[in-house]
Amino acid sequence: MLYKQNIITLNQDLWKNSAEIIDGKTVLAILSNVYSKIQCSFNNDYDCDGINNNQDNCPNDYNPHQKDTDNDGIGDVCSSDIDGDTILNPSHLVDDNGRVNIHAFKGRTGQLDNCIWTINTDQKDSNHNGIGDACEQKNSNFGLSIAIPKLQ
């Protein structure tokens, strides 16, 4: 979670005690240091997005905007059917800003929703470009989020 939010980095060259068992006191000290940096309460806000778990529509996924396109009580960030048309999309397909994470498609086979924000149960794609006609007719804009490792 902290890594996904770019609060911490995971540089394995700098890891300490990675082969050792860490005692509870050390774990609490580390969590205390992390807590002071991110200022959230892990017991009330697991994803540190500023929304308490009991009101968060994706309590384990960072989504402070709480966008829920189909109003089913499950936020778009963690929804497996963003538009509610019963045609599934991979969970964690979009981030809190609606950018598509292409890594969510890794290893997926079978039919996936070709228009994730608009109901299109027929999945019609007249020009066979992978984008449903319902989205193209709306002149929808969406961005892609592609993680590229930093070059050193």
pLDDT in tens, 111-135: 788 888 889 999 998 988 888 888 8
The predicted model gives 12-23 an average pLDDT of 59
User: Domain of 76?
Assistant: 65-152
20 belongs to a structural domain: no
Question: DSSP class of residue 144?
Answer: E
84 lies in some domain: yes
Strands 100-101 and 144-145: parallel
Q: CB 57: neighbour CB atoms within 10 A? A: 19
pLDDT tier at 72, thresholds 50, 70, 90:
very high
The pLDDT value recorded for residue 1 is: 54
Number of domain units in the chain? 1
Burial of 137 (C-beta count, 10 Å sphere; 0-12/13-18/19+): exposed
- The rounded distance, in Å, linking the Cα atoms of 141 and 60 is 27
CA of residue 69 relative to chain centroid, distance: 15
pLDDT above 90 covers a percentage of the chain that reads 22
Q: pLDDT at residue 71 above 90?
A: yes
In a domain, 32, yes or no: no
In a domain, 133, yes or no: yes
pLDDT tier at 20, thresholds 50, 70, 90: low
The band of 102, judged by pLDDT with boundaries at 50, 70 and 90, is confident
- Cβ-contact 40, 48 below 8 angstroms: yes
**Would 81 be classed as within a structural domain?**
yes
- Residue 46 inside a domain? The answer is no
Q: What is the pLDDT of residue 42?
A: 61
